[in-house]
Amino acid sequence: EPEVTQTPSHQVTQMGQEVILRCVPISNHLYFYWYRQILGQKVEFLVSFYNNEISEKSEIFDDQFSVERPDGSNFTLKIRSTKLEDSAMYFCASSGQVINYGYTFGSGTRLTVV
Amino acid sequence: DAKTTQPNSMESNEEEPVHLPCNHSTISGTDYIHWYRQLPSQGPEYVIHGLTSNVNNRMASLAIAEDRKSSTLILHRATLRDAAVYYCILRDGGVTGNQFYFGTGTSLTVIP
């Protein structure tokens, strides 16, 4: 069964550093998403991406964050100047073109900011 | 997006059926009902979705009330691997690629 692959599985970074979280969505999917989950809290939407541009973003997704699809396969989330409160699981997801197709989520990257 | 209400937690004995309820009294005509689950330390996983009719797949069944104000996810024989948080989510079918709003879900404990 096709999978969404995320790397690394765990990233530790110092406060103030930049991190890039990487995702390889399912190859024929067209919609891409980032969600995050702070330990013990809800899964929160960050951003959706379609046709090489952001289609929707939440209040969490401020200027500190950016997304990019640098080639035909990767989808990245960059967090500039990380803060302690950015520590969370970050999930990438993708979905197909059919309206109301379900998402496929990756297994996540655990980001720890120290 | 319309809200859903689920019990915080439920328990089931292994190999018995589990009925996970969800109320969505403010559902609109274009809202699809989606169920996802999240196993410990993993990303959410698609389970099933439907609009009006009951749905079955290899993982579960979805029973939708006639007025669509509630639905029930049915796991026919719970296994220990089904222990997870189950999320009932409404998503507007008139919009492609829009986000899912995850609530707190129902934490299912399966007792051996």
Tens of pLDDT, residues B9-54: 999 999 999 999 999 999 988 889 999 999 988 999 999 999 999 9
Integer Cα distance of A91 and A106 in angstroms = 6
Optimal mutation site among A94, A99, A107, A110, interface B, most CBs of chain B within 10 A: A99
Q: Other C-beta atoms within 10 Å of B49: how many?
A: 19
CB contact, 8 Å: B69 with chain A?
A: no
pLDDT over 80 (residue A101):
no
Range from A2-11, A91-100, B37-46 carrying the lowest mean pLDDT:
A91-100
A35 interaction partners in chain B (CB closer than 8 Å): 102
B91 vs A31: CB contact, 8 Å cut-off? no
Q: How far is B11 from chain A (nearest CA, A)?
A: 20
B102 vs A91: CB contact, 8 Å cut-off? no
Question: In the beta sheet, which residues pair with residue B48?
Answer: B35
Residues 58-77 of A with CB under 8 A from B: 58
Q: What are the structure tokens assigned to A99, written together?
A: 């309206």
Optimal mutation site among A30, A48, A100, A103, interface B, most CBs of chain B within 10 A: A100
Integer Cα distance of B93 and B89 in angstroms = 12
What's the count of helices (H) and strands (E) in chain A, helices before strands?
Answer: 0, 11
Range from A16-20, A26-30, A60-64, B104-108 carrying the lowest mean pLDDT:
A26-30
CB contact, 8 Å: B57 with chain A?
A: no
B102 vs A43: CB contact, 8 Å cut-off? yes
B93 versus A46: the higher-pLDDT residue is A46
Residue A88's pLDDT is: 98
Q: Over pLDDT 90: what percentage of chain A?
A: 78
- Kindly report the CA angle at B80 between B48 and B74, in degrees rounded to 5? 30
